[in-house]
Amino acid sequence: MRCAVFFCLLIGGWINYGSGVDPTNFKTCEQSSFCRRSRKVQSSGSKYSLISGTLNTYSDSVTADLLNKENHHQFTFKLEALVGGTFRLQIDEKTPLRPRYRVEHALKAQPKTVTIRVQESDGELTVTSGHSKAVIHGDPFRIDFYENDVHVVSVNAKNWLYFEHLRQKTQEQALPDSGEQQQNVEVLETLDEPGSWEENFKSHHDSKPYGPEAVALDFSFPAAEVLFGIPEHADSFALKSTSGTDPYRLYNLDVFEYIVDSKMALYGSVPVLYGHGPQRTAGVYWQNAAETWVDIYTAETNVVSSLVNFVSGSRKSTPPAAHFISESGIVDAFIMLGPQPMDVFQQYTALTGTHDLPQLFSLAYHQSRWNYNDERDVTTVSAKYDEFNMPMDTMWLDIEYTDGKRYFTWDKFKFPEPLTMIKNLTELGRHLVVIIDPHIKRDNSYFFHSDCTEKGYYVKTREGNDYEGWCWPGSASYPDFFNPVVRDYYASQYHLSKFKTVTEDVMIWNDMNEPSVFNGPEITAPKDLIHYGNWEHRDVHNLYGHMHLMGTFDGLQKRDPNQRPFILTRAHFAGSQRYAAIWTGDNLADWSHLQHSIKMCLTEAVAGFSFCGADVGGFFGNPDSELLERWYQTGAFLPFFRAHAHIDTKRREPWLFPERTRLIIRSALLKRYSYLPLWYTSFYELEQTGAPVIRPLLAHYPQDKEAFAIDSQLLVQQRLLVRPVMQQGVSKVDVYFPAIDDKKNGDYWYDVDTYQRQERTGSESIPVTEYKIPVWQRGGSIVPKKERLRRSSALMLNDPYTLVICLDRQGKADGTLYLDDEKSYAYRDGQYIYVNYEFANNQLTNRFIGKPKYKSDAWIERIVIAGLNRVPSSATITVNGVAQQLEVEQRDAAVYIRKPSIKMDVDFALKLNY
C-alpha cells in the first residue's frame, strides 16, 4: 500500500514534469484569511496613538502604551537604540490572553544597546543616538527615522499598523451568521470574516484554536528609489510593485518545479528588506517566523499621484513602501539606517551573524546527483574526473544511500563498505557529503524512530499524538527540534561512536526541512501542530529548518571540534547563515532558471546568505550541452558551486557530452579553482566584517541609478565584475559598467583573460566565444590566484600564488589575501596570514594585518600587472635588505614578473625598473 502511494506520487510528479508548479497547490493572499484581513487596512487605515503619560525613558530605550482608538485595546511599545545605527521596535499586547510568540535563536546574540538622548516637544519625541535619530509622533502613531538628519525610514506613515489582539472564542463566533447579537465591536469585525477561527484549504482543515492574531505594519523609505531583499523568491533582484497582484510571500515551502518571475513562497524566508536611493540606503528586518506576506509599493506605481505632482510642480512622489503582514507573533522590527548599502548589509549581519569561514573544499566544485547508484558508481565518477584531468572536490549522496530512507543508516547492498569508499575519496583530498533529512521513518525497528516515540521527541498534533505525515520514507514523523533535548539527541547521533559508517570528513546536507510533508497542506506541516513550549506550528513554521540546522551544526562540531562543519540546507530563516550554506532548491534545466540563479543568490547575499548557489545544469529536465556549458561558467562565479540532477534525468557528468563540451566545462572548473584564494579571502572577510561576498552593483556604485536593478551581473567583493553568458546561442552580451558618480565617471575594468581595459561606463556589447566567461577585474584591485591545476583543492594547500594587479587611473591598486590551514579552527588562535598588498609609484609592498603566525610552504610564483603605461625592463625585489633582480615579460596587455619566490609571511618590496 505504502509503495503504491509512493508510486502514485512519483507518477504524479512525472506527469507534471515540464509543466512547472501547479500554483493552485499554494495559497493566494485571498485564500489566506489573515492576509485578506490585514490587507483591508490598506484602504481604510487604522487609528493607533500613544497614550500620553505612559512614556518611560531608559538609558537605551523608551517605552509607552499604545492604544487602538477603534477598539480601545492597549499595547506596549518599545523603541531601543542598538549599536551601529540600528533601532529595534517592539509592539506587543499589554495584557495578552496568552503569551504571543517571540522569535528565538535567529539573532546571533542579544543585540548591544547604546545610550540615547530624548527630547520632547509638542507631541513629538526625539530619540537620538549618534548620527541616528527617531522622531516619534504620538497621534497618529508614527516614527520617522533620520540618518544624519536625512529622513530614511518611516514606520506606520501610511497608518497600516494592524494588530489582532487575542480574544476568547464564543459560541456565536463559531457560527458566523448569528454575529449580529454581539455587542462587542471588535468581535464583530472579525466575525465578518470567515476563516478567523478555522480555515480550510483544499482538503486540509486548520483548526485555529486561538483565532485571529495577525500583525502588520508598514515601512516607508523616503530616500529610496528601489526596494530589494526578502528572499527567497524566484524573482528579480529589485522588488516589483504588488498592487494588483499577490504580495510577496514568506513561508518555507517545498515547491515542486517552481516557476520564475513569481512572488510565490519558496524554501526559505528571510524577512529583511532594503530601500536604496542614490544618497541613502536603509533596511528593515521584520523578525517574525510565522507566515508572512509583504506588499510592495514602488515609487512610480501611483500614476495619479505622479500626475498630481507633475501638475503641482512638486518633485516629491510617494516614497516606496513595504507592508509586512504576519499571521501571528508580535511586531519586532529592526530599523537599520545605513547610510550606504554596505553599511546596512553589515548592520544586518551584526544582528543575525554570518557564515563562519568555511573549509576551503566547500568553496570548490561539488559533484552531486540523485543518486549515485552504488559504491562503484561513486568511485568511477571520482576516477573519471582524474582521467580527464578535471578538478573535483566533493561527491554527494542523495537519499538513496540510506537503508529505506532511514537516516544514519546505509543501504547494505549498494553501499556495503562506506568506510572504504570514503577512504578512497579522502586519500585524494576529496570529501563526501551525505543527506540527512528531518522526516523520520515510522518503523519500530528503526532506532531513531523508537527513541523518538519512547521519549516523546516528535512534533505533536492538537490531540497530543505524534504527528504522522508522508514523505520519502512513506509514513514519517518529525522531531521537534525546538526542544533543546531533542536537538541534543539529534546532534549526538552524528558522533562517530553512533554513526560509525562515516568519518569526521563526511559532511552533511539537510534537505526537506521546510518541513516538506507530501500529504500536508501546501506540502508542509499543518499549522495547528504543537511544538515545544506549547507553541503552535503557525508561530514557528519558518524557523523549523533553522532549528534542524542548529542540531546538525552542534552535532558536527561535537563530532570533531577541530574541523569547521559544512552543512547545506534548503529551508532557511534569518540567522541560518551562521550554520549552513544554501542552494536555490529544485530548479529546472532552462535558460530562465540559469538567469535566476544569479538574481536569487544576489538577494540571498544581501540578506546574509553569501554562501549560495544553484544546481548546475538544473535539477529537473535535461540540459543540452550549450546550457550545461553556460551553467558551469555561471556556477563557477557563485559561491556555492555544485552540479546536481533529478533521479529521472539523464546522466550528465561532463565526459558524457562531446569533447568540446567537456573541455569548456574543464576550463570553467579551472577558472573556479584558480580564484579559490579570492573566494577564501572573501569568506574570511565576510566572517570578520559581515560584508557580502557577492554583491549587486549598487553596493559599490550607489549613485548610478541605471545600475540599481541590474541583476544579470554581480560583483565578487569589490574586485571582480561577473556577467556570465546566460542566453542561448549568443555571440555578444551586453555588459553594464557602472559609474561612481552621476557624471558617468567609472572605474577601469580589465578583462581577466586578455587584460584589455574597459574605460567607459555604461552599456557595452562584448563579443563572446563558447569558452568565454565575461569577467573583469576592477582597476585598483589586487586579486590573489592559484593557477596550478590539482585534482582537488586540498592538494593545492602549498601551491604558489599569483598576484594579479590591475591599476586604477592613478596607477595604484591594493587587495588582501588570507590563508590558513583551510580546515581547522586554529585560525581563531591566530594561526593565519592576513596580508594587504599595495601597489603605488611602481612599487609593490605588503603589510600584514595581525601577526602572520601560520607557517605556510606557499610562495608567490608570479605577479601580473595590468595597466602600466610602459613596459619595465626588470624588477627588483628587496627582502631583509637583500635585493634580487627579476625577469619581466610582456604578454597580452599585461606585464608578468617571473618568479619572485617570496614566502607568504615575509615583508618585501618590489620595484619596477625602467
Partner 1 sequence: MRKTWVKRENIYYKPFYKDKSKMFLLLIFLVGISFIAYQAFSLNQLPSVQQLRRKHKQMMQSLGSKQRDVDDFDGGGGGGDGAGVGFGAGVEAVVTATQDADAIKIIRGTRLFDYDAYKPNFEGNFKCLDGSKEIPFKHLNDNYCDCEGDGSDEPSTNACAKGRFYCKYQKRHFTGRGLDVWVWTSRVNDNVCDCCDGSDEWTTHVKCPNSCA
As beta bridge partners, residue 817 has 835
Given 130, 879, 893, 911, the residue binding partner 1 (CB under 8 A): 879
The nearer residue to partner 1, 51 or 879, going by C-beta atoms, is 879
Tell me if residue 747 is catalytic.
no
x/- letters, 846..875, toward partner 1 (CB under 8 A)? -----------xxxxxx-------------
Q: Which helix (H) or strand (E) holds 694?
A: strand 694-695
The nearer residue to partner 1, 409 or 674, going by C-beta atoms, is 674
Rounded Cα–Cα distance for residues 634 and 639 (Å): 10
567-569 and 506-510: which strand pairing? Answer: parallel
Q: What's 383-394 look like in SS3?
A: HHHHHCCCCCCE
Contacts (CB under 8 A) with partner 1, residues 777-806: 787-791, 795, 798-800
The nearer residue to partner 1, 321 or 877, going by C-beta atoms, is 877
Rounded Cα–Cα distance for residues 386 and 827 (Å): 31
The single residue of 235, 393, 480, 586 carrying the catalytic annotation is 586
Contacts (CB under 8 A) with partner 1, residues 729-788: 787-788
Provide the minimum distance between the beta carbon of 858 and partner 1 in the complex, in angstroms, as a whole number: 8
Query: What is the separation, in whole angstroms, between the first and last Cα of the chain?
Result: 83
Rounded Cα–Cα distance for residues 795 and 667 (Å): 19
588 and 645 in contact (C-beta within 8 Å)?
no
Contacts (CB under 8 A) with partner 1, residues 558-587: none
User: Is the dihedral angle over the CA atoms 561, 566, 568, 574 positive or is it negative?
Assistant: positive
Strand, helix or coil for residue 780: coil
Rounded Cα–Cα distance for residues 530 and 524 (Å): 14
Provide the minimum distance between the beta carbon of 886 and partner 1 in the complex, in angstroms, as a whole number: 8
Given 336, 357, 665, 877, the residue binding partner 1 (CB under 8 A): 877
Provide the minimum distance between the beta carbon of 299 and partner 1 in the complex, in angstroms, as a whole number: 51
Site size toward partner 1 (CB under 8 A) is 34
- The region of 207-215, 274-282, 322-330, 878-886 touching partner 1 under the rule CB under 8 A is 878-886
The nearer residue to partner 1, 346 or 503, going by C-beta atoms, is 503
Given 429, 469, 551, 774, the residue binding partner 1 (CB under 8 A): 429
Rounded Cα–Cα distance for residues 77 and 93 (Å): 9
Tell me if residue 374 is catalytic.
no
Q: What is the DSSP letter of 439?
A: -
Contacts of 706 (CB under 8 A, 6+ apart): 736, 738, 762
- The region of 204-212, 264-272, 728-736, 882-890 touching partner 1 under the rule CB under 8 A is 882-890
887 half-sphere exposure, CB direction, 13 A CA radius: 6
The three grid cell numbers given for residue 477, joined into one nine-digit string: 514523523
Rounded Cα–Cα distance for residues 41 and 122 (Å): 28
DSSP track, 255-272? -TTPPSS-----SEE--E
The nearer residue to partner 1, 444 or 880, going by C-beta atoms, is 880
The nearer residue to partner 1, 394 or 713, going by C-beta atoms, is 394
Given 119, 884, 890, 913, the residue binding partner 1 (CB under 8 A): 884
Question: DSSP alpha helices (H): ranges in 533-675?
Answer: 537-540, 544-559, 591-606, 625-635, 659-674
Nearest alpha-carbon partner for 860 in 874, 881, 879, 832: 879
Rounded Cα–Cα distance for residues 878 and 510 (Å): 51
Using CB under 8 A as the binding rule, whether residue 118 contacts partner 1 is answered as no
DSSP track, 745-775? -B--EEETTT--EE---EEEEEE--TT---E
The nearer residue to partner 1, 452 or 669, going by C-beta atoms, is 669
Provide the minimum distance between the beta carbon of 885 and partner 1 in the complex, in angstroms, as a whole number: 10
The three grid cell numbers given for residue 99, joined into one nine-digit string: 503569551
Provide the minimum distance between the beta carbon of 670 and partner 1 in the complex, in angstroms, as a whole number: 7
Given 272, 335, 428, 540, the residue binding partner 1 (CB under 8 A): 428
Count of residues in the chain = 914
Provide the minimum distance between the beta carbon of 360 and partner 1 in the complex, in angstroms, as a whole number: 15
Given 149, 180, 427, 829, the residue binding partner 1 (CB under 8 A): 427
Rounded Cα–Cα distance for residues 465 and 479 (Å): 13
Provide the minimum distance between the beta carbon of 736 and partner 1 in the complex, in angstroms, as a whole number: 33
The nearer residue to partner 1, 591 or 771, going by C-beta atoms, is 771
The nearer residue to partner 1, 862 or 911, going by C-beta atoms, is 862
Provide the minimum distance between the beta carbon of 795 and partner 1 in the complex, in angstroms, as a whole number: 4
Provide the minimum distance between the beta carbon of 659 and partner 1 in the complex, in angstroms, as a whole number: 16
Rounded Cα–Cα distance for residues 610 and 211 (Å): 38
CA diameter of the chain: 97
766 and 732 in contact (C-beta within 8 Å)?
yes
Rounded Cα–Cα distance for residues 570 and 511 (Å): 5
Rounded Cα–Cα distance for residues 250 and 567 (Å): 23
Contacts (CB under 8 A) with partner 1, residues 383-412: 389
Contacts of 224 (CB under 8 A, 6+ apart): 152, 275, 276, 277, 280, 281, 282, 299, 319, 320
Provide the minimum distance between the beta carbon of 879 and partner 1 in the complex, in angstroms, as a whole number: 5
Given 114, 670, 766, 893, the residue binding partner 1 (CB under 8 A): 670
- The region of 167-175, 424-432, 625-633, 723-731 touching partner 1 under the rule CB under 8 A is 424-432
Rounded Cα–Cα distance for residues 904 and 879 (Å): 12
Nearest alpha-carbon partner for 786 in 418, 360, 342: 360
Contacts of 554 (CB under 8 A, 6+ apart): 487, 488, 491
The nearer residue to partner 1, 70 or 857, going by C-beta atoms, is 857
The nearer residue to partner 1, 148 or 845, going by C-beta atoms, is 845
288 and 332 in contact (C-beta within 8 Å)?
yes
The nearer residue to partner 1, 504 or 889, going by C-beta atoms, is 889
DSSP track, 822-887? SSBGGGGGT--EEEEEEEETTEEEEEESS--------EEEEEEEE--SS--SEEEEEETTEEEEE-
Q: What is the DSSP letter of 661?
A: H
The single residue of 218, 246, 411, 511 carrying the catalytic annotation is 511
The nearer residue to partner 1, 788 or 823, going by C-beta atoms, is 788
x/- letters, 891..910, toward partner 1 (CB under 8 A)? -------xxxxxx-xx----
Provide the minimum distance between the beta carbon of 884 and partner 1 in the complex, in angstroms, as a whole number: 5
Provide the minimum distance between the beta carbon of 112 and partner 1 in the complex, in angstroms, as a whole number: 41
Integer-rounded Cα Rg, in Å, for the chain is: 28
Provide the minimum distance between the beta carbon of 899 and partner 1 in the complex, in angstroms, as a whole number: 5
Q: Which residues bind partner 1 (CB under 8 A)?
A: 389, 427-429, 670, 787-791, 795, 798-800, 857-862, 877, 879-880, 882, 884, 886, 898-903, 905-906
Catalogue the active-site residues: 511, 586
